[in-house]
Amino acid sequence: DLSRGDASERAARLAVAAAGATVAHPGGRPDLDPAALARRAGT
């Protein structure tokens, strides 16, 4: 997260993971758990 001082590359990976989770979920409203997104992003 850029507001916490994380690197922009990590923020980009998390954004892609969140977008992927949204597309894969019917209705586009997944439960975006920060730990699950970090695992999905490989960060």
Going residue by residue through the chain (43 aa), what tens digit of pLDDT does each one get? Answer: 677 787 888 888 888 888 887 776 677 676 778 888 888 888 7
Output the six-digit token pair for 5: 């001082």
Output the six-digit token pair for 37: 């997104």
Q: What is the pLDDT of residue 15?
A: 86
Q: Residue 40: what are its φ and ψ, rounded to 5°?
A: -60, -35
How far apart (Å, rounded) are the C-alpha atoms in residues 7 and 25? 28
Residue 37's domain comprises: 2-41
Select from 23, 21, 29, 26 the least CA-distant residue to 37: 21
Q: What is the pLDDT of residue 39?
A: 86
Instruction: Give the total number of structural domains in the chain.
Output: 1
Q: What is the pLDDT of residue 36?
A: 83
Q: What is the pLDDT of residue 10?
A: 84
**CA torsion angle 26 27 33 37 (round to 10):** 60
